Structure 1
Amino acid sequence: MSQAAAQTISLPPGSQSALTQALPPLREELSLHPGPKAADGSPTWTLQDPVNNRFYRIGWLEFEILRRWPMAEPERIVASLNESTPLRIDGEEIDQLIEFLASHDLLQIRGPQAIQRLLSKRAARRVDWLLLVLKNYLFFRIPLIRPDRFIEATASMVAPFWSPVAMGLYSASALLGLVLVLRQWDLFVTTFTDFFTLEGAVLMGLTLGGVKILHEFGHAYTAKRYGCRIPSMGIAFMVLWPVLFTDASDAWKLPSRRQRLAIAAGGIGVELAIASLALLAWSFLPPGILRSLSFLLATSTWIVTLMINLNPFMRFDGYYLLADSLGIANLQDRAFALGRWFLREQLFSFADPPPEDFPPKQRLLLISYAFGTWLYRFFLFLGIAVMVYYLFFKLLGIFLMLVEIVWFIGRPIGNELAAWYGRRGEMTLNPRSLRTLFGLALLLALLCFPWQGNLSAQALWKVANYARIYTPSPGQLAQMTAALDHEIVQGEELFALHSPDLDYEIARGEQRIATLSWAVSSQGLDPRLRERLTVTRQELQSELSAQQARLAERKQLTITSPLSGRIVELMSPLDVGDWLSEDELLAVVVGPGGSLIEAFVAEEDLALLEVGSTGRFYPNDPGQAPFSVRLREIDSTSSRRLAEPYLASIYGGGIPVRVDEKGALVPETPIYRVVLEQSVPQPPPRYIVPGVVRLKGARQSLLSSIARNILAVLIRESGF
């Protein structure tokens, strides 16, 4: 290659003086490979930069210019190209190619001005270490090995696993294994118990790790099969979660789309082959840890792999499979550029040409892919922001969450808004800009107009006077007079329990009291008893107190009704002789009186309510008609416990709860109890009717509702 002065690199596009300047030489280690055909059928080539491990796809024109690059003079290249090809250029294309090569450091750099240019580029690329950490803490890679020689040496040993015979065996194993499993389906779906031991958990972790290593080697050996180099394999961290990776970027130089697809699918293929063999092995292995491992490999591992790796919105296997299927390199960047162009044209009609020409159907697909990826990333990064908040201690969690939201969500949106603002002078009144203004005004109206006033809350319609009857302590049911729908009076005996353990303790206490009483009364007959008189009296007093407590507990085993009324619920089945544990619900007694509606309102909705607010109660039972209600009372403090299990999420209700160490139902978010009454009195329910109450509250805008919710979360999470 001829030598040239470095200043020729900075020639502006279209400069006519470029035709009289010598061309800068290309870097000697660059290589050019035939590429796949473009969408229009024209040939392409791949320019490889082995030092930076980068690949650039160029077209026919660029290839013809690079073929003639040793001519060193643009005038000669233009004349040769116009004379020997149907292409017609005037030198501007050479200037543009020089700019492209220079911007990607593909030219030889010589002279003080060229060195200064490199130093300037290095300074421009230098990023503060703190900013670098904030940008990359969510994802960074650590190369661990350079496996190319090992892959080259062992490729022949691995080749039989990719042969047509092996593929047939995998398919036959999957089919036969599925037939055998279907004959034992109930047993198959319950195969997981051996992992609930320490040995099982360790073995499961090692197995999953081994499968993921084989997944990566599946990519590596497939790439080596088609002559690609594997420069590195290692571990990457996504939100500090380790995942393995294989650098198979050399596949970009392959002209065959089928070969690139095979490399991208190599890892998934390995896991599917392992799953087929494991499915067949399950039917022949004895019960135990090995059978459980085969179940794991035949089910969850490959399903999770497909769900994650086939995701086209992240740069996993699915993304490269989609890119090669469409024949579009740099799919995301090109789709994003097209998506931004489409968005600007739809909003402002700038009349810009599209960044690239695609057929209409392909253009629509790329625009849809761009918007789908943006939407997916928005919720993904939002979810990651919440996750890092809970993953670290509060102060660091808040900081990293804000970094996540500002950098990965706010920054791209801000850049696009800045681009719109920078072109404000080009905005004119046209149908699309008027439509945008109307949509913006409508959005502001929806956000700011106080049109929201109704709110919903989980509620119970129940009698005002009722009592639940529980077993006071464990025992055997000795007598039962209670019956469903039986009218009873306060103090009436309903159940009698018998506790042999308690009877034994009472009898033993009586003997102990008799012995201690004799010792006190006989102290004058025995000097040793007289010496222990004080201690004996204390023991006697303690035993008398304990015996009194036992007798009181035995008295409680005779269960009476706390109020007059009717039994509306009775434990079933329940017969004399049954053994009962403590705190078992035996019956529910409903007394005379009216009814009330008890609802639980979210904290953010509390400000919208006031005593006297009206609404309607809708029972969950469709056979019962809804009715109007009026707010009578609002609790001033939140409910720390949920007394009624009917509304708890773990029992099918609508209030999220957790069970604490004492077995109480604790709401996950602050809720406030409110009491409502019927606007028009009607007969009370039999007992308790769950439902939903819809109340008319003070009207508020959607914007104020969002602000109030955010403020409530900040206040709730502000405690350190």
Structure 2
Amino acid sequence: MSASLYSDQWHRVAHLAPRLRKHTSIHRHDYRGAPWYVLFDALTGQAHRFTPEAYQVIGRLDGSSSLQKIWDDVSYEIGDEMPTQDELIGLIAKLHHANVLAGYHDIDIDELSHRKRQGRLKKIKQVLRSPLGVKIPLVDPDAFVNATYPYVRPVLSIWGALIWITVVSFAVVLAATHWEALTDNLADRVLGLNNLLLMTLVYPVIKVIHELGHAWTTKDTGGEVHEIGVMFLVFFPVPYVDASAAAVCPDKKQRMLVGAAGILVELFIAALAMMVWVLAEPGLLRSIMFNIMVIAGISTLLFNGNPLLRFDAYYVLSDWLEIPNFGQRANQQLGFLIKRFLLNKRDTTSSADSSKESFWLVMYAIISFVYRMFLMVFIAIFVATSYFFVGVVLAIWSLYMALILPSLKILKEMVVGTQLEGAKIRAWCWLLGVVFAVAAGLLLMPFPHSSVIHGVVDSREPTNVRAGASGELRHWWVEDGETVEEGQLMADLYAPELTSEVARLEGQRREAEFRIQATVGNPQAIAIELENLSLIENRLADAQLRASGTRIVSPRSGQVNFDQGRLHLGQFIQRGQTVGTVTQDSDFRIRSLLLGHLQPQVVNDLQEVKLKLPGQNREFESTLLGISPSATREIPSITLTRQGGGQVALDPEQTEELRAYRQHYTLDVNAQPLIDAEVAVALDSRVYIKLVHTPSPIGYRLWDNIRRNFLSLFER
């Protein structure tokens, strides 16, 4: 309340008798146990919140009572809590600015035109402040919502909730059961060109249903929806509806349902798609269901379901905590605490109504700011890499509006502003202290420094298992990964021509032996037949050796590995063809590919090497075996590529052989610590390699990463 009860401007407005316009309505809400009143403008969709004391004034604005009479009546009724004349003038000015008052003067066409121009200018400024999020209204969906609402109404009940819970729960169980099939090579499946085209077609349909969910639940609360349009987020069209009419609903649970309706609808669609995906055969239908799950499930939870962004979950959280204008008040409360406790200003006003509300507001302000900055950097890099020059300009502009401009406003306030009057020296001390502390932390304080790269289990000298004869593969006697002994039978080949040749030569040998017996007494004939028998026996020995090659046996003891997959039964195999390998633990090593900027750090500053298996927290101390002297684009295994879940990008121009997009150094690490720990290690399996370096200030490393990444962007 102001220090003076009376105002020297009161005589200008005391005789006015304003009234609320017909398109406004007042609704009582309870926020954290305290009554508040919401004035809703159905024409603009704006809602204004007022205290019970302000409502005593607003409720009397009927066009028949002057402001003097209203002030007298309110002062008599509420006593010591009566508003001052300046406060009442401020309230009337706020209502006038919101364009909800009428009847106190003739229509001022010039003022209406000025307000219209100001509204347009405000929208233009909003677009300039957020060039990556532009709204374009399209149609009024009220007639469609009214026509379809009777069919949707039965779903908005306890039975609808039970059906939703049942379907979504069943889908979660299915997803857990088929998790490996769903996530196998996920990045390649989602980001493939054909899949992106299919996703582009599916996305608008799902989002339209999402927005209709908001519209139908708004209708269920008694509100109306008169605007549906398209909002461009990073140039991607996203449907939206204006469900602001739900703000007048006094029941917070209904308001929360309106805010969460889109999320609930999309999760239900994703659950149905999960069921169809499980039943469908591989093909177009299954691909469509997979994309529906990605869009309606994953993206919904990450974006619309994230209260740190000003989307659906934000409004649900605001209603649940019963704190309207949550984000704006959070920033105001954080500013109040800074001014009150850091700058020692006593004349500031808290935006919170209680200490508990203050805690929620401050926590949200800090966490959401950090998250928005992270998202802004991510969007900036995404736009720069996808839209080149225009994208870079827009990304820089967006970062300027989100981070640099607010900082400049703070500096301006500290230099020429009046809000910090009497506390500017303290403010400058805090600012310089924070800047110095951040600079010292970034440039002077050493932090742990390490690099994590993907490796693959490799064999230094694998022993190849080769076919000793040509023939058709008849039977496998071993499985991939099975332990075998030297000489153990691994497979059988079917080669009838070899069997026939052995039988034919055996017959020739018996015939030669009979002829020798028949020529007894003829030394010259015996000599000829003995020479012929020797020739036949040599041929027979060779044929028997080749026939024995149809039995493929292990050349050593070890573990069987079919690197290229086990050959199919019935497949014809050439003599000398490799059908697999047999490795021993002593053969294993961890091979990885190292980017060029990491090579000097590994060569000059490698303190430790640690190994970690996927899905395990245990680390194993290891040693570096060696690093190649020159870079190469050859890839030892698809496991290291992005298509295989690794880090190495493939060269898109190479379609037949595995070649990296950039050159890498080959790095080998000792796998013996894994073997000594009796950890199950399979050939071509993934291992995470942690390369530990000397601790160093993080600022230099950040600058090096930024410089390197942006140089690589502009070099493309």
**TM-score range, shorter-chain basis?**
0.5 to 0.7
CA distance in structure 2 between the aligned counterparts of 1:367 and 1:48, rounded to whole angstroms: 28
Q: 1:145 aligns with which of 131, 139, 144?
A: 139
CA contact under 8 A between 1:170 and 1:277: conserved in structure 2? no
Deviation (angstroms), 1:381: 1.6
Question: Given the alignment of the two structures, is residue 59 of structure 1 paired with residue 51 of structure 2, yes or no?
Answer: yes
Q: 1:321 aligns with which of 316, 321, 326?
A: 316
Counterparts of 1:618-629 in structure 2, within 5 Å, are none
CA contact under 8 A between 1:234 and 1:244: conserved in structure 2? yes
Provide Cα deviations, 1:497-551, integer angstroms capped at 9, x if missing partner.
xxxxxxxxxxxxxxxxxxxxxxxxxxxxxxxxxxxxxxxxxxxxxxxxxxxxxxx
CA contact under 8 A between 1:109 and 1:115: conserved in structure 2? no
> What SS class does the counterpart of residue 641 from structure 1 fall into?
strand
Which stretch shows the higher mean deviation, 143-152 or 295-304?
Answer: 295-304
Assess, with a 3 A threshold, how the Cα gap between structure 1 residues 395 and 13 changes in structure 2: closer, same or farther: farther
CA contact under 8 A between 1:174 and 1:280: conserved in structure 2? no
Question: Given the alignment of the two structures, is residue 710 of structure 1 paired with residue 706 of structure 2, yes or no?
Answer: yes
Assess, with a 3 A threshold, how the Cα gap between structure 1 residues 41 and 603 changes in structure 2: closer, same or farther: same
Counterpart of 1:79, as a letter, is: D
CA contact under 8 A between 1:35 and 1:57: conserved in structure 2? no
CA distance in structure 1 between the aligned counterparts of 2:205 and 2:696, rounded to whole angstroms: 57
Provide Cα deviations, 1:101-150, integer angstroms capped at 9, x if missing partner.
23333345999997666666666666599977654542223333312123
Aligned to 1:92: 86
Which stretch shows the higher mean deviation, 14-23 or 233-242?
Answer: 14-23
Q: 1:227 aligns with which of 211, 222, 225?
A: 222
> What SS class does the counterpart of residue 245 from structure 1 fall into?
strand
Structure 1 residues not aligned, in runs of 5+: 1-11, 479-483, 487-566, 590-595, 677-687
Deviation (angstroms), 1:222: 2.4
CA contact under 8 A between 2:466 and 2:580: conserved in structure 1? no
Q: 1:376 aligns with which of 353, 371, 375?
A: 371
Question: Given the alignment of the two structures, is residue 39 of structure 1 paired with residue 32 of structure 2, yes or no?
Answer: yes
CA distance in structure 1 between the aligned counterparts of 2:179 and 2:59, rounded to whole angstroms: 63
Q: 2:70 aligns with which of 77, 90, 93?
A: 77
Which stretch shows the higher mean deviation, 127-136 or 49-58?
Answer: 127-136
CA distance in structure 2 between the aligned counterparts of 1:358 and 1:158, rounded to whole angstroms: 39
Deviation (angstroms), 1:472: 13
Aligned to 2:60: 68
Assess, with a 3 A threshold, how the Cα gap between structure 1 residues 243 and 54 changes in structure 2: closer, same or farther: same
> What SS class does the counterpart of residue 228 from structure 1 fall into?
coil
TM-score of the pair, normalised by structure 2:
0.64
CA distance in structure 2 between the aligned counterparts of 1:200 and 1:705, rounded to whole angstroms: 37
> What SS class does the counterpart of residue 658 from structure 1 fall into?
coil
Deviation (angstroms), 1:361: 1.5
Deviation (angstroms), 1:364: 0.3
Deviation (angstroms), 1:599: 9.4
Provide Cα deviations, 1:379-400, integer angstroms capped at 9, x if missing partner.
11211111212222x2223222
Q: 2:254 aligns with which of 239, 259, 264?
A: 259
Provide Cα deviations, 1:172-199, integer angstroms capped at 9, x if missing partner.
6677x679x87x9968986999x99999
Aligned to 1:404: 398
Aligned to 1:213: 208
CA contact under 8 A between 2:465 and 2:582: conserved in structure 1? no
Question: Given the alignment of the two structures, is residue 15 of structure 1 paired with residue 34 of structure 2, yes or no?
Answer: no
Deviation (angstroms), 1:97: 0.8
Aligned to 1:559: none
CA distance in structure 2 between the aligned counterparts of 1:286 and 1:452, rounded to whole angstroms: 52
Assess, with a 3 A threshold, how the Cα gap between structure 1 residues 673 and 110 changes in structure 2: closer, same or farther: farther
TM-score of the pair, normalised by structure 1:
0.64
Provide Cα deviations, 1:450-503, integer angstroms capped at 9, x if missing partner.
85797668799x9xxx8899999999699xxxxx999xxxxxxxxxxxxxxxxx
Counterpart of 1:704, as a letter, is: Y
Deviation (angstroms), 1:606: 6.5
Deviation (angstroms), 1:368: 0.9
Aligned to 2:153: 159
CA distance in structure 1 between the aligned counterparts of 2:697 and 2:182, rounded to whole angstroms: 53
Provide Cα deviations, 1:194-236, integer angstroms capped at 9, x if missing partner.
x999999999887765554333333222222332111122332
Which stretch shows the higher mean deviation, 244-253 or 143-152?
Answer: 143-152
CA distance in structure 1 between the aligned counterparts of 2:16 and 2:181, rounded to whole angstroms: 72
Counterpart of 2:21, as a letter, is: E
CA contact under 8 A between 1:474 and 1:579: conserved in structure 2? no
Counterparts of 1:310-709 in structure 2, within 5 Å, are 310-345=305-340, 347-392=342-387, 394-421=388-415, 422=417, 426-427=422-423, 440-449=435-444, 451=446, 572=561, 579=573, 603-604=596-597, 615=607, 639-642=631-634, 648=640, 656-658=648-650, 661=654, 701-709=697-705
Provide Cα deviations, 1:646-699, integer angstroms capped at 9, x if missing partner.
9946699986453662666655666567999xxxxxxxxxxx9999696878x9
Assess, with a 3 A threshold, how the Cα gap between structure 1 residues 118 and 666 changes in structure 2: closer, same or farther: farther
CA distance in structure 1 between the aligned counterparts of 2:286 and 2:58, rounded to whole angstroms: 60
Counterpart of 1:256, as a letter, is: D
Deviation (angstroms), 1:360: 1.3
CA contact under 8 A between 2:127 and 2:134: conserved in structure 1? no
Deviation (angstroms), 1:36: 0.8
CA contact under 8 A between 1:348 and 1:433: conserved in structure 2? no
CA-based RMSD: 6.1
CA distance in structure 2 between the aligned counterparts of 1:647 and 1:190, rounded to whole angstroms: 17
Deviation (angstroms), 1:91: 1.2
Deviation (angstroms), 1:319: 1.8
Which stretch shows the higher mean deviation, 20-29 or 406-415?
Answer: 20-29
For this pair of structures, how many residues does the alignment match? 602
Assess, with a 3 A threshold, how the Cα gap between structure 1 residues 618 and 222 changes in structure 2: closer, same or farther: closer
Which stretch shows the higher mean deviation, 416-425 or 65-74?
Answer: 416-425
CA distance in structure 2 between the aligned counterparts of 1:201 and 1:614, rounded to whole angstroms: 42
> What SS class does the counterpart of residue 250 from structure 2 fall into?
coil
CA contact under 8 A between 1:34 and 1:253: conserved in structure 2? yes
Assess, with a 3 A threshold, how the Cα gap between structure 1 residues 328 and 375 changes in structure 2: closer, same or farther: same
CA contact under 8 A between 1:338 and 1:367: conserved in structure 2? yes
Aligned to 2:514: none
Provide Cα deviations, 1:607-630, integer angstroms capped at 9, x if missing partner.
77997x78566677999976799x
CA contact under 8 A between 2:140 and 2:227: conserved in structure 1? yes
CA contact under 8 A between 1:349 and 1:433: conserved in structure 2? no
Counterpart of 1:714, as a letter, is: F
Structure 2 residues not aligned, in runs of 5+: 473-483, 487-555, 670-683
CA distance in structure 2 between the aligned counterparts of 1:95 and 1:380, rounded to whole angstroms: 43
> What SS class does the counterpart of residue 135 from structure 2 fall into?
strand
CA distance in structure 2 between the aligned counterparts of 1:172 and 1:599, rounded to whole angstroms: 46
Aligned to 2:40: 48
CA distance in structure 2 between the aligned counterparts of 1:584 and 1:399, rounded to whole angstroms: 57
CA contact under 8 A between 1:275 and 1:297: conserved in structure 2? no
Deviation (angstroms), 1:327: 2.1
Aligned to 1:237: 232
